Amino acid sequence: MSHRITRRRFIATAGAAASVALGSSIFNLDSVLAAPFVRRNLGGMDPSDPILVSYRAAIKAMKLLPTANPLSWDYQAAIHGTTLAGAHVAWNTCEHGTHFFWSWHRMYLYWFERIIRKMSNDPCWALPYWDYHNPSQRTLPVPFRDPASELFVADPNRGFGWNAGTASFPASHVDPSSGLAALDYFTGQGDIEQNPHNNVHVDISGWMGNISQAAQDPVFYVHHSNIDRYWNLWLTQGGGRTDPLADATWKSRSYTFFDENGNQVHMTACDILRCAEQLSYTYESEPPQVKEYCLRIIFPWWLVVVQALLQLPGPPVELGERQVTVPVDISQLRQRITPLLESKNEHIVIELDNVEAEREPGVVWEVYLGAPAGVPLNAENPHFLGTVALFSAGVHSHVHGEFTPAHFVFPANKALAAALRTNQEKLPLVFVPTGPLIDGKPSQPKVQAPVKIGAIRVAIARNEERREGPIVPEKPEPNRPK
């Protein structure tokens, strides 16, 4: 063990280690080494920070390896998705729009991080996270913009303005609040997958905008580190939030990766429930992690049941270059809706079903319900429902199994409460195509492929408390067996 490891990991865990140091010996290596790695916030991190220097060194070394070597940059990216031909173990195995989005990506990052540690010769390395929700971190982090750096990807493999530092995320595209507020796991995961996850991919575009190329960009991993952090943050809010431990399929599906020696490894969700304990990492400044166990199902837990009240008539709605407005006639629903706005366990949602596009549309549509004409449409508007951005689910050209259309459920209580005050009968449901901000101003995005929405419904989402289990999952099973 080098001196460096002891010291750095010691510092990283100073609080926990201090008592050990006082109580016994300063060099109580076991407890120091057992302390988890800390995944640090990328915000303000200097390009010369050892974390970034090691990341660069590893990428450089990995790019020198042949594609068929599991430790190569190409192979690691291909595990997520690739356009390369050839059948290699674990290629194209990422999970999107399924029950396994959070869990698969957690496993993927874990092994990637170990490989970076090895390839950089930096046994202390931990993947940083990009906290773009923070208004000071909405542009591409500076270390990723330096053309001389391995963290750089040239235009147009990154969309316009990101490398120049002029592009930034609108607040509405990087807003985890709906996901964090959800009580049941699959709703929270699905919302976070959309916003901020898909939006970040679509806004950065280039490689990041395409599921088969995204993981070639080093920024992919710091993006996903943040998405993984949200899983922990979601759990720590309590209120009955728990991993879907009653779902046997979720717990037992096994995925294949490679360790830092190039050996195949297999993992299930049960191996990744407790980051610090099982995977030896924490996030900088996160609250104490919730510990869950596969054999211990926590009761009660929540399940959301969605029940349609009204399906909008008419042909499928098509989203293209222009803003689209669909009237939602609530005249028959007023009596029904009003009490629901007060209810604790039920709320109104707008559901978009069978959402699909031929290719990645390359656009984030902001969705608003009932906004009066003339008010600025942005995330602060109470009528803002959420975003529609297709990255994998719903995109016909990117299927590594069977095609699954995308599905969206937007909590609509706030927008409806505001709209009901105005006595309108027909509430406009508005879809606004948006791109990243350029120099702080909205840009008009180019629509690469229109999006078709098969059905729009007003529905009730009911949080159901489950006091026993296990149960058969009520959501459709993901489409491809592994």
How far apart are CB 461 and ligand C2O at their closest, in Å?
A: 25
Q: Which is nearer to ligand C2O, 227 or 270 (CB)?
A: 227
Residue whose C-beta lies closest to ligand C2O: 94
Between residue 219 and residue 258, which ones bind ligand C2O under the rule CB under 6 A? 224
Q: Which is nearer to ligand C2O, 114 or 197 (CB)?
A: 197
How far apart are CB 165 and ligand C2O at their closest, in Å?
A: 22
Which amino acid is located at 128 in the chain? P
How far apart are CB 129 and ligand C2O at their closest, in Å?
A: 13
Structure-block tokens of residue 105: 């990506």
Q: How many residues bind ligand C2O (CB under 6 A)?
A: 8
Q: Which is nearer to ligand C2O, 193 or 366 (CB)?
A: 193
Q: Which is nearer to ligand C2O, 80 or 117 (CB)?
A: 80
How far apart are CB 291 and ligand C2O at their closest, in Å?
A: 26
Under DSSP, the state recorded for 266 is E
Q: What is the largest CA-CA distance in the chain?
A: 74
Binding mask 100-139 for ligand C2O (x = CB under 6 A): -----x----------------------------------
Q: Which is nearer to ligand C2O, 116 or 430 (CB)?
A: 116
Residue 23 has φ and ψ, to the nearest 5°, of: -70, -40
Does 8 participate in binding ligand C2O (rule CB under 6 A)?
Answer: no
Binding mask 65-104 for ligand C2O (x = CB under 6 A): ---------------x-------------x-x--------
How far apart are CB 198 and ligand C2O at their closest, in Å?
A: 8
Q: Strand (E) positions, 377-482?
A: 384-388, 406-411, 426-434, 437-438, 441-442, 451-466
How far apart are CB 56 and ligand C2O at their closest, in Å?
A: 22
CA 120/CA 109 separation, integer angstroms: 16
Given 197, 229, 253, 383, the residue binding ligand C2O (CB under 6 A): 197
Residue 374, classified by CB atoms within 10 Å of its CB into exposed (0-12), middle (13-18) or buried (19+), is exposed
Which amino acid is located at 478 in the chain? P
Given 42, 214, 276, 390, the residue binding ligand C2O (CB under 6 A): 214
Long-range contacts (CB closer than 8 Å, 24 or more residues apart) made by 58-66:
58/115, 58/116, 58/117, 58/119, 58/120, 58/122, 58/125, 59/150, 59/151, 59/218, 60/150, 61/119, 61/120, 62/115, 62/119, 63/150
Does 201 participate in binding ligand C2O (rule CB under 6 A)?
Answer: yes
Under DSSP, the state recorded for 94 is -
Q: Which residues of 226-259 are buried (b: 16+ CB within 10 A; e: fewer)?
A: bbbbbbbbbbeeeeebbbbbbbeebbebebebbe
Starting at the edge strand found earlier in the chain, the sheet holding 426-434 runs 324-329, 426-434, 364-369, 384-388
In the complex, the residues that contact ligand C2O under the rule CB under 6 A are 80, 94, 96, 105, 197, 201, 214, 224
